[in-house]
Structure 1
Amino acid sequence: MRAIERDEELAEAVRLRESGNADEARLRLQALSESWPDDARIAYQTAWAHDVLGREAEAVPHYERALRVTSPALPPSDRSEALLGLGSTYRVLGRFHEAGTTLRRGVAEFPEHGALRAFLAMALHNEGRHQESVRLLLELLAETSADETVREYRRAIGVYARDLDSTVG
């Protein structure tokens, strides 16, 4: 199969997934993945198709491969989503340490990606790191909320987020 045909088949599989036909998309992506094992985009889309269907354990190796392939690597927008998908999938599978490690890497690479930070907070909670989890969520809330009452107290929320046990203002 030539690269042009690969790209057309990949686009069609993505359209199938987006239109709600994830089973057919998964089958097509699985076949593409076998033909193009070093294509990060195909690996990422294959992972996503498995994830959408609740086949998280089967999604993991595809996410891992998508993030490992460097030539060509995923574009940043897909890479951030692949890190989120893999971290979230590890978490769903009860692999909390791996979830935290993956999501930390995502936050380090994409510090402005709020969803990565929110999912990291969930993984931290699962690891029993409740204080760090709440701190991360409070910082995210203070930085991103459109609620005027939160915005009014943004600075105080940020200060208390760094020292949750403080009772003195």
Structure 2
Amino acid sequence: MSDKGTRDELLAEAVRLREQGHPDQARQRLVALSAAYPEDTGIAYQTAWVHDLLGLEAEAVPFYERSLGAPGLSAEDRRGALLGLGSTYRTLGRYTEAVDTLRGAAEEFPDDGAFRVFLAMALYNTGHHHEAMGLLLTLLATTSDDPSVRSYRRAIAHYARDLDETV
């Protein structure tokens, strides 16, 4: 069996363990795989993910950073890694890094509303309440299926641009 075949099988098994509710076992395997394949962005991303799942945010950060430090992730995994890293930075109180990561990700993936939600939280943490509310109101106005919100979509979008406006 080739080295690539072994890598793929071991990674698939570790992901299966995570998905089946065995994150500790998955973590053990992924840490070993990360050591064996330190340049592999996919393994780094999966290793970060399992650390986050286990509440080991500080340990997840270097794996997220490694996964994003070189090309190789699929677009879907890149989205996950950027959201995971930005959210983890925020959880750890690294608010400026969270804002920078999430702002860049929101620009890279403008159709993914999750980035704007997490960016708004990080902006709130940095005292940028006006921008945070603007992001959330814009997202609400453009994506809500709630009939009562839809009926006020135009007003909500207006106030998203200038929440301090009065008559």
TM-score > 0.5, shorter chain as reference: yes
* Structure 2: runs of 5+ lacking an equivalent: none
What's 1:87 paired with? Answer: 86
Matching residue's letter, 1:130: H
Matches within 5 A, 1:1-169: 2-70=3-71, 73-168=72-167
Structure 1 residue 50 displacement after superposition: 0.4
CA distance in 1, matches of 2:12, 2:105: 26
* Structure 1: runs of 5+ lacking an equivalent: none
Structure 1 residue 42 displacement after superposition: 0.3
CA distance in 2, matches of 1:7, 1:41: 10
Structure 1 residue 69 displacement after superposition: 1.5
Structure 1 residue 38 displacement after superposition: 0.8
Three-state SS of the structure 1 residue aligned to 2:65 is: helix
| Matched-pair identity in % | 63
CA distance in 2, matches of 1:109, 1:38: 23
Structure 1 residue 153 displacement after superposition: 1.3
Runs of 4+ in 1 over 2 A off after TM superposition: none
Structure 1 residue 82 displacement after superposition: 0.5
Three-state SS of the structure 2 residue aligned to 1:164 is: coil
CA distance in 1, matches of 2:164, 2:36: 55
CA distance in 2, matches of 1:142, 1:40: 36
Structure 1 residue 4 displacement after superposition: 0.8
Superposition CA RMSD, Å = 0.8
CA distance in 1, matches of 2:164, 2:91: 30
Q: Deviations over 1:112-169 (max 9, x none)?
A: 111111000000000000000000000011111110111111121111100000123x
CA distance in 1, matches of 2:78, 2:99: 17
CA distance in 1, matches of 2:82, 2:145: 26
Structure 1 residue 44 displacement after superposition: 0.2
CA distance in 2, matches of 1:9, 1:86: 24
Q: Deviations over 1:8-48 (max 9, x none)?
A: 11011011011110000001000000111111110000000
